[in-house]
Structure 1
Amino acid sequence: MNSDSAAYRRSASRHKVKQADGVVTKCSSRVAKSGNQAHSFYIGNDQFSIFTDDQLSPVAVGDRVRFEYEIRHLRSGYRREYFSIIPESLIIYAPSELGAAIEGNVYVLSNPSMPGLLKVGYTTGTVAKRASELSGVTSVPTGFRIEWSLPIVGDPKAVEQRAHAHLAPHRHGKEFFKVSLDGAKDACARAFAELYPEHALIMDDAFAKRAEAEIQRRKDLEERAAEQQKEREKLAERKAFDATREGQWHKEGACEVVLFDFQYKPNFDSPSFFSKLFGGKFEDFIIFKVEVRQHGEAIYWSLMISGRLREKSIWKPQTFPTQQECMEQLASATKDYAASNRRASIHIPNALIENPPPLPEEYRNPRVTLSLNSLDGLVIRPAPTKQRHSRYS
């Protein structure tokens, strides 16, 4: 990015443009309303966002970066302010893979009030803060702009002094030089390499490690995206299947097995007051109804015993975690409730059956309960196994 294009962009922007630099913390990514990827991170207490087409975040926690950003406002709600990074301005000048302490930075600044001059200096803080401090001097009518900076593993003041020596023929004041940006950058980089050649190699190695890490991160993202695409395809296939007759039968139909049925249809009503006055009685009956149900992720078996026995109403619901426990209780209950007219059935929604039987062609409505002779061959879905994670793992 050259200075002319940067100046044009700044003048054309409708938003206020500022500069920032520092160490990246708290990275996160999400899909923005526009469909682009919104990558966010913090520098100090300030959150910055960058919008790209790439799922891979351009930065990682621990990176030292500098960039330009626009102060924008959300379109809805309270129009909250947020900081939007200008993508082409983002520069990682020290990756997190650098295994050495950064002692400071040598920087190159420009000022519109001093055309043709560049300030070359050093700071042990952030370059953005140093530029802001220099811009606050009353004798400077316009603010300083960061053109370039170099992180120093070593003594930044010594590197600055060596760079000044290289630039001595172009000196124009104490720390100002009439030199091109490339010339100033070359002097600083040469000074660093001369004073700390092994540190320069460390920096190159850090960027090589970052390149390898980025390749792996991109591979992981591609694998995750492929898995998500497979899930979307499965979901689309499932929706298409659910819209068919067979799909509706699998999703909304049910199967029922009648273990034994009433000898005759009982009168489910209770005797009226006048019937009781004249000695009217209704005969006993008992209904045993087993159902497979699902609540959240849990699948359980329920046994409902209802009816009338010796002029008293019966209502006894029970639940069991397994089919075996439920059927054992059913066998015991049929002995305890000895009414002659009784019915026992097992009702299972097809949604909880791995292999529902085919629906006969004569059934036009697939949302029906199909009567079967037995449960033989039907596979009931087990309850999902919850993963238990150790706090020490």
Structure 2
Amino acid sequence: MSREKVLETSGIVSECSSRVAKSGSHAHGFEVRGKKYSFFIDDPLHPLIDGDMVRFSYQTRTLRGRYKRQYHVADLATLVIDAPAVAGDSSRETRATSDAGTIYIASNADMPGLLKIGYTMRDPGTRIAELSAVTGVPNPFRLEWTMPVERSAKEIEGLVHSNLRSKRAGKEFFRLSLQAAQEACRTAYLAVHPEGAKRLDEGLAERAAEMARARETRDARLLAWNAEQDENKRLKAWRQSKDGRWRLQESTHWLIEDFDPSMGRGQAPFHLRLIGRRNPDFLEMQISFGSEWVIRGDHREQLSQWRISAFGWRHGEPCSEEPLRADTWPEALKKAMAFAAHHPATNRRVTVVVPNANLRHPQRDAGSVTPVAPELITEALDQMELVPEAENGARAPDDWQ
């Protein structure tokens, strides 16, 4: 998420809807406690259904343009479904009752060892901000934990306070550990609504079973989306690593023939041209492998070919030859050598270049800066296997961390 302040909220989901945003992603809207939120993700399936009891982080942003309208962007990575709505549950539509709320636990640095246990019908973050704004509280309260409840929030809070009366250190303050406070809240919830706690456990179990039975269910797709995001982060890190850049951006070079350093290349000095000295001939050739996308009928496919390019001087004048193409390495080598044999220049360089992305098993020490026989290049290419870039893929090795 961006640099805007990160806030948290919890409650029961209602008014779920989906649309395609201007960015091309899917905007999945929903309401919690009367406030509208949206997930902006690539998955067309909404990660929530009406009746889910959830917790998540969000940020408030402002639309650009004439009307600076604010909207709330929910972070899918922080989504926790405390109690899933079960499809077909007739009570699902009546869960958001007037006494639904959230039991919360808060702490304050000026009150070491004490925890405040309370309830609110509104957003817990708003309630904590109100407590922190009270005169006489030097440090703000910190929200430690929340538990959304379907109804009877005040009754559950009262039972928690009653069960913890031996730990009481103030009206709503108790001296105990966070884990013990959480357990007291869960116990009170079970006592007030045993059927609700049972439904929660059964709902979570049923959701896990759905994930195992069918990967295409809503919750399985949410799980798959999270896994995809993790893999994308891993792939991005690999692409930016030294190994990934070598694999995707660099090439393997071989030298078949090099220039003779004792022979001149290029334009002759001016004083020699005055007496009729001709510019020395030379030829520089490159045999390169590459892929390009082509349209065939109604679909695109990647075509891989060898390309022979040449530049130099012929009879004292610069020349740039039309590129030659070949489908195989032997054919490309044959065409290149035949072209070189008919060129008047005896001083020449011939190099072979293959992108590492077109080699299935590239080797860091495969290239050569000194001339080698074409037979050795043929052997190396056979070992590494030439493939189209699309077939080879640009994914990080399984053992890369």
| TM-score interval (norm. to shorter) | 0.3 to 0.5
Report the TM-score when normalising by structure 2: 0.43
Report the TM-score when normalising by structure 1: 0.44
Question: Quick check: which has more Rg, 1 or 2?
Answer: 1
